[in-house]
C-alpha cells in the first residue's frame, strides 16, 4: 500500500493554553511557531517545503481568517506553493495529516508541511460553544439546541446503565490524563487532580461534571512529512506511517444504531490495523480523543483494546495508566494538554513521534515501537486513525 511509503521528518508544537489578548499569540503566531519548529526539527529549510496542509476547524469564525493555508505559506516565505486547509470538525488536524499523506504517497510532492491550529479564546465562551455546535447536524440537532456536552452526558448515562460503568471509573480517566499532562511541558493544565476533584466539580451534563471535559485551548502543532526515501536521507529517526483509517457515521446521533459506542471510531481503527497488518496487542501506546471522559472509555472498546462494556473494569485494573499494558494519552490528552480543535489531530501524531524516538522525557513509554492515534470529528462521526512505527 503506497500510503506506507510516507514518513515523518520533523515535529513542532507551541505551548497549549489560554492566550486571550496576549500579544504575539494570535492564530498566525501560533501556526508559524509550530511550523518553524517542525521545519527546524526536520533539519530542512523553508524552501524545501513543497506543500502546506493546514488543519483548522473554524479560523473564520474564531479568528476572522479564512484562506489560512495560503497565509501560512506566505508568512513562511515559501511562494509560490501548494496550500490547502482541511476541515472535518475536531478531526481537522488528522484530515490535514491524511491529505498530506496522499500528496506524498501519490508522488505529487516529496516533502510537505502539516500545521494544525486553533485560536479559540478571543470570542466569548458562549460564542465558542455556538461555533463548535455547528459541527452537529444543523437540520435536526442544532436547531433544537443540542450541544456536544449534552450528547456526551446522554452517552455516559447509557453506558453506565447498560454495562455498570461507574462514575468513579470515568473520573479516573481524567485523573490519569491530568497526571500525564503534568509531565508534558506544553500542557494547558499541569495540575494533578484526584477522583474527588472530578466528583465535586460543577455538574455540566448529568452525569458528567466540569472535570470530565477538556478545556477551550489555543495552540498549534506541525509536522514535516515526506517520502520514506527523502526522510531517511534527512532524519536519523524517521517515523513511518504503517496504517491509516477513516470512518464516518450519521452526524445526528438520533439516527444511529448504537448509543454506547461509535461506529466511526471502530471503522477508522479497523482500517488502520488492516493496512498495518497488526493486532491490537502489537500497539505500545495510544493517543485517544478524550474531549469527554466517556469518549476515551468508549474508544478503548471501539478500537478493540478491550471488549465492549469492559472499559470501566480495565480502568480499575490500570491497563491504560503509564506503566500499564497500554498507556493511553501519555501526553495528557485533550483533557490536560488541551484541545485547540484543529491542532489536536496533529499534536496526537507529534506525541507518538516523540514517544517512538524515545524523546518523551518524564512521560516516556519505555521501549515504545508502535503507536496509534484516534482523532474524532463531530460527535463521533468523522474519525481518523494512524498507526506509526519507528
Which residues form the interface with a second copy (CB under 8 A)?
1-3, 26, 28, 57-58, 60-61, 63-71, 73-74, 79-89, 95, 98-99, 101-103, 105-108, 131, 134-139, 142, 244, 246-252, 255, 263-264, 267, 377-378, 381-382
**Nearer to a second copy by C-beta: 100 or 186?**
100
Distance of closest approach, residue 85 Cβ to a second copy, in angstroms: 5
| Burial (0-12, 13-18, 19+ Cβ within 10 Å), 380 | buried
Instruction: State in angstroms the smallest separation of the CB of 329 from a second copy.
Output: 24
Do residues 325 and 72 lie in contact, with contact meaning Cβ atoms separated by under 8 Å? no
Beta carbon nearer to a second copy, 185 or 255: 255
Quote the least distance from Cβ 55 to a second copy, whole Å.
Answer: 10
| CA–CA separation, 282 and 369 (whole Å) | 9
Beta strands 382-389 and 239-248, pairing class: antiparallel
Q: Rg of the Cα trace of the chain?
A: 19
- Shortest distance, CB of residue 185 to a second copy, whole angstroms? 28
Q: Which long-range contacts (C-beta less than 8 Å, at least 24 apart) are formed by 205-210?
A: 205/149, 205/150, 205/152, 205/153, 205/154, 206/153, 206/157, 207/153, 207/156, 207/157, 207/160, 207/167, 207/170, 208/149, 208/152, 208/153, 208/156, 208/170, 208/292, 208/293, 208/294
Least Å distance, CB 357 to a second copy, is 26
The whole-angstrom separation of Cα 178 and Cα 78 is 39
Nearer to a second copy, 95 or 165 (CB): 95
- Looking at the Cβ atoms of 12 and 377, the one nearer to a second copy is 377
Is 378 within 8 Å of 251 (Cβ atoms)?
yes
* Closer residue to a second copy in complex, CB, 244/294: 244
Decide whether 102 or 204 has the Cβ nearer to a second copy. Answer: 102
DSSP 168-233: HHHHHHHHHHHHHHTT-TT-S------HHHHHTSPEEETTEEGGGBPPP-BEEEEEEEEEHHHHHH
Rounded-to-integer distance, Cα 181 and Cα 339, Å: 12
Give the DSSP H/E element, type plus range, for residue 234. Answer: helix 228-234
Shortest approach of a second copy to residue 113 CB, angstroms?
13
Given a contact cutoff of 8 angstroms between Cβ atoms, the answer to whether 35 and 219 are in contact is no
Q: Choose between 183 and 381: whose C-beta lies nearer to a second copy.
A: 381
Residue count of the chain, please give it: 390
CB-nearer residue toward a second copy: 139 or 367:
139
Considering beta carbons, is residue 83 or 223 the nearer one to a second copy? 83
C-alpha 210/C-alpha 194 separation (Å) is 13
Closest distance to a second copy from the beta carbon of 387 (Å): 15
**Shortest CB 276 distance to a second copy, Å:** 14
Instruction: Name every residue whose Cβ is closer than 8 Å to that of residue 122 and which is 6 or more positions away in sequence.
Output: 20, 21, 62, 63
Min CB(170)–a second copy separation in Å: 26
Amino acid at each position: 500500500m503506497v500510503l506506507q511509503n510516507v514518513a515523518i521528518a520533523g515535529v513542532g508544537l507551541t505551548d497549549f493554553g489560554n492566550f486571550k489578548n496576549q500579544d504575539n499569540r494570535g492564530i498566525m503566531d501560533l501556526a508559524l511557531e509550530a511550523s518553524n519548529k517542525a521545519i527546524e526539527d526536520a533539519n530542512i529549510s523553508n524552501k524545501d517545503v513543497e506543500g502546506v496542509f493546514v488543519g483548522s476547524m473554524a479560523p473564520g469564525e474564531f479568528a476572522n481568517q479564512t484562506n489560512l493555508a495560503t497565509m501560512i505559506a506566505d508568512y513562511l516565505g515559501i511562494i509560490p506553493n501548494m496550500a490547502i486547509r482541511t476541515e472535518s470538525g475536531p478531526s481537522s488536524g488528522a484530515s490535514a495529516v491524511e491529505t498530506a499523506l496522499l500528496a506524498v504517497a501519490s508522488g505529487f510532492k516529496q516533502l510537505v508541511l502539516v500545521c494544525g491550529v486553533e485560536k479559540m479564546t478571543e470570542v466569548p465562551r458562549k460564542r465558542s460553544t455556538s461555533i463548535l455546535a455547528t459541527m452537529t447536524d444543523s437540520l435536526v440537532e442544532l436547531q433544537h439546541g443540542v450541544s456536544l456536552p449534552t450528547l456526551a452526558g446522554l452517552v455516559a448515562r447509557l453506558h453506565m446503565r447498560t454495562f455498570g460503568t461507574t462514575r468513579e471509573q470515568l473520573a479516573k480517566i481524567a485523573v490519569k490524563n491530568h497526571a500525564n499532562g503534568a509531565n508534558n511541558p506544553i500542557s494547558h493544565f499541569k495540575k494533578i487532580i484526584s477522583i474527588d476533584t472530578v466528583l465535586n466539580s460543577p455538574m455540566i451534563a448529568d452525569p458528567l461534571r466540569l472535570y470530565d471535559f477538556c478545556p477551550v485551548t489555543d495552540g498549534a502543532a506541525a509536522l514535516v512529512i515526506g517520502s520514506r526515501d527523502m526522510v531517511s536521507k534527512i532524519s536519523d529517526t524517521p517515523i513511518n506511517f504503517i496504517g491509516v483509517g477513516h470512518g464516518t457515521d450519521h452526524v445526528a446521533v438520533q439516527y444511529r444504531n448504537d448509543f454506547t459506542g461509535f461506529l466511526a471510531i471502530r471503522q477508522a481503527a479497523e482500517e488502520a490495523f488492516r493496512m498495518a497488518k497488526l493486532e491490537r496487542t502489537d500497539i505500545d501506546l495510544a493517543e485517544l480523543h478524550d474531549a469527554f471522559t466517556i469518549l476515551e472509555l468508549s474508544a478503548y472498546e471501539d478500537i478493540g483494546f478491550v471488549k465492549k462494556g469492559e472499559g470501566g473494569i480495565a480502568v480499575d485494573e490500570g491497563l491504560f495508566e503509564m506503566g500499564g499494558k497500554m498507556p493511553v494519552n501519555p501526553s495528557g490528552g485533550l483533557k490536560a494538554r488541551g484541545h485547540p480543535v484543529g491542532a489536536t489531530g496533529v499534536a496526537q501524531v507529534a506525541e507518538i513521534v516523540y514517544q517512538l524516538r524515545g524523546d518523551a522525557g518524564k512521560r516516556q513509554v519505555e521501549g515504545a515501537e508502535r503507536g496509534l492515534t484516534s482523532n474524532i470529528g463531530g460527535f463521533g462521526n468523522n474519525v481518523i486513525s494512524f498507526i506509526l512505527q519507528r
